Structure 1
Amino acid sequence: MELRQLHYFVSVAKKQHVTHAAEELHVAQSAVSRQIHLLEEELNLQLFVQKGRNLQLTPVGKLLLNKIEGILSDLERVVQEAHEFLDPNKGEIRIGFPHSLGVNLLPTVVACYRKINPEVKFRLKQGTYNSLIRDLTNGEIDLSFISPFPENHALVSGQILLTEELYAILPAQHELANEVSLHLSQLKEEPFVMFSEDYSLRAIVLDACKRVGFVPKFGFEGDETDTIRGLVAAGLGVSLLPEMAITERGPLQPAKVRLQEPKVTRTIGLIRRKGEKIPPVAERFQTFLIDYFKEK
């Protein structure tokens, strides 16, 4: 069995047509047909059946496709890691991040790193708390920023990079908008603009309100910090946001007031799969991030 046979098999399975597969592979149609025939002979299996002008996978062909795609993906990753091992200043860093870090923190650290390692590429994946951990454990990414940092997780490990304060945000015309600080209980009668259930900031806000004796009234829900900030600025409620998510972009901005009691914070960490080696290029970026936040 040859590697090119596996590539040809996957292409035909996806295109359901030898001619279209040959065009994608930039080879003659006869070469594709011959390699598929040789593969079926070697395995003693029928992988395709003719359906009109198309080829469809047999049940055993479908089973084989799933396995072969995994093998080719693993092989591609091994070759990439080998190149990265020879030169960890090149290669691709696959990293996840929550939306609230995508406005400022992530672009800043990526730009700083590329100044000293301009040939490194980044593959970025945005997600919620649970989806980032899932993508990490499934091997789709090698590192991930996360908030809050997951203590004592069975599948991931890492370190806290920083702890960030959350502020109350209010419509600019709110009676408390010009206060230096406020007690969270002063907002108990206000409608809250909340993150949806998939977002960790929702749990942080609910917990803070519970600590001072009330359950917030839900006015509106949103999935991104820009949405939360915009709805509050439009006068539709109040909320709590991390400082780095309260950036002035556009004419409509909420008022930002420090919380005197209770002090509400979130941890931001960097995680990786527990007990597994990651590519050298990602390992070097992890070291850079730890040093970067120590200096900050």
Structure 2
Amino acid sequence: MTDEKLTAQLAPHLRLLAALRATGNVTRTAELLGIPQPTVSRRLAALSRALGAPLTVPAGRGVRLTRAAELLAEAAERALTAVDAGVRLAREEVEPGSGRVVLGFLHLLGRALVPELLRDYRAQVPDARFTLVQGSRQDMLDRLAAGELDLALLAPVPEEDERLGSVVLDEQPILLSVPAGHRLAGRSAVRVAELADEPFVLLEPGYGLRRITDDLCAAAGFAPTVAFEGQESDTVRGLVAAGLGVALLPLFEPGAPAGVAEVALTPPVTRTIGLAWRAGEPQPPAVRSFRDHVVTAYPRRINRRTK
């Protein structure tokens, strides 16, 4: 059988191969696809005959794919990703107002920015649907590159990555947060070098604020002494309030929380907040519409770079 004929025979069963690879079990594959188990078995037997080699071998109470079947299943998963994206584009081209946007964002931005943007957009497009994903900056960048996200709200904006298009929405001051009774609490400004002997409460590696802190400390000639690491800035502030260390964090609005004093850095330090997406790829109408709304409607944007 020629490659073309084998491809034509395999194409209708891409999901079967991908599902079998994921489950390792014929019965669960049948349940996942919503077809009878004998149908799955017959299709696998027909594909094995067409390939000229078995696709599965017994493995305990289930099966595992042969090396040849693994290669086909990997190709099937890649092809299905492209097909699913095409189906979504076509469906939302017909009904853009009810399309879905998968939006990633940092935990910190979920307090005010994300609800504000969604509220304003849903007022204009009431049937718009969103899937919201939170995580670290690096996690958002990885998911965006992998196609798991349509858009991501990040800080700082990844302007150095040519694979991404982005727009800067805001510039946010970074301040020193210390316990209210700390020796630096009453200062008008503090140099980062003065913090060399302080214990730090930090976000985990992969977060934008962690990178900013590490870079500022390195530029001042020291590595921060890590007292605690967390995944949310609110947790970091709580640990600072408890007297467990200092932290470099964005300005807390409307004012510093109880037990925390915010002190300006000198020279001043800021970070950008913005929206990013994969460059050079067609976007579903719903994604394009929300992106354009953010770019044009957000009042504090300071500069933009789109692709």
Q: TM-score range by the shorter chain?
A: 0.7 to 0.9
Correspondence for 1:136 among 137, 144, 153: 144
Contact 1:208–1:262 at 8 Å: present in 2 too? no
1:46: Cα distance to partner? Answer: 1.8
| Alignment map for 1:58-207 (pairs within 5 Å) | 58-177=66-185, 179=186, 181-184=188-191, 187=195, 189-207=197-215
CA deviation vs aligned residue, 1:197-230 (integer Å, no higher than 9, x gap): 3222133234445667776544333332122111
Which amino acid counterpart does residue 62 of structure 1 have in structure 2? E
SS state at 2:298 partner? helix
SS state at 1:109 partner? helix
TM-score between both structures, scaled by the size of structure 2 = 0.81
1:38 lines up with 2:46 in the alignment: yes
Q: Distance in 2 between matches of 1:11 and 1:204?
A: 42
Structure 1 stretch displaced more, 115-124 or 14-23: 14-23
1:87: Cα distance to partner? Answer: 2.0
1:259: Cα distance to partner? Answer: 0.7
| Alignment map for 1:236-251 (pairs within 5 Å) | 236-244=244-252
Contact 1:229–1:254 at 8 Å: present in 2 too? no
CA RMSD in angstroms, aligned pairs only:
2.9
Size of the aligned set, in residue pairs, is 292
Q: Distance in 2 between matches of 1:260 and 1:22?
A: 61
- Matched with 1:268 is 273
Residue 35 to residue 247, structure 1, CA distance change in 2 (3 Å):
farther
Residue 19 to residue 168, structure 1, CA distance change in 2 (3 Å):
closer
| Alignment map for 1:228-243 (pairs within 5 Å) | 228-243=236-251
Unpaired runs of 5+ residues, structure 2, are: 1-8, 302-307
Q: Distance in 1 between matches of 2:188 and 2:133?
A: 36
1:272: Cα distance to partner? Answer: 1.5
Q: Distance in 1 between matches of 2:184 and 2:171?
A: 26
1:166: Cα distance to partner? Answer: 1.8
Which amino acid counterpart does residue 53 of structure 2 have in structure 1? L
Residue 188 to residue 49, structure 1, CA distance change in 2 (3 Å):
closer
Residue 5 to residue 204, structure 1, CA distance change in 2 (3 Å):
closer
Residue 197 to residue 246, structure 1, CA distance change in 2 (3 Å):
farther
| Alignment map for 1:197-236 (pairs within 5 Å) | 197-208=205-216, 216-236=224-244
Q: Distance in 1 between matches of 2:247 and 2:105?
A: 22
- Matched with 2:5 is none
Structure 1 stretch displaced more, 266-275 or 122-131: 122-131
Residue 78 to residue 225, structure 1, CA distance change in 2 (3 Å):
same
Q: Distance in 2 between matches of 1:206 and 1:27?
A: 54
1:189: Cα distance to partner? Answer: 4.6
1:285: Cα distance to partner? Answer: 0.8
Contact 1:156–1:274 at 8 Å: present in 2 too? yes
Q: Distance in 2 between matches of 1:20 and 1:150?
A: 42
Contact 2:169–2:300 at 8 Å: present in 1 too? no
Residue 53 to residue 168, structure 1, CA distance change in 2 (3 Å):
closer
Contact 2:176–2:265 at 8 Å: present in 1 too? no
Structure 1 stretch displaced more, 187-196 or 279-288: 187-196
TM-score between both structures, scaled by the size of structure 1 = 0.84
Q: Distance in 2 between matches of 1:205 and 1:265?
A: 11
Structure 1 stretch displaced more, 207-216 or 101-110: 207-216
Q: Distance in 2 between matches of 1:17 and 1:142?
A: 32
Which amino acid counterpart does residue 242 of structure 1 have in structure 2? P
Structure 1 stretch displaced more, 106-115 or 11-20: 11-20
Structure 1 stretch displaced more, 94-103 or 55-64: 94-103
1:255 lines up with 2:263 in the alignment: no
SS state at 1:78 partner? helix
Which amino acid counterpart does residue 52 of structure 2 have in structure 1? N
Residue 71 to residue 208, structure 1, CA distance change in 2 (3 Å):
closer
Residue 256 to residue 52, structure 1, CA distance change in 2 (3 Å):
closer
Question: Once the two structures are aligned, what percentage of the paired residues are identical?
Answer: 35
Q: Distance in 1 between matches of 2:274 and 2:20?
A: 44
Which amino acid counterpart does residue 191 of structure 2 have in structure 1? L
Residue 214 to residue 82, structure 1, CA distance change in 2 (3 Å):
same
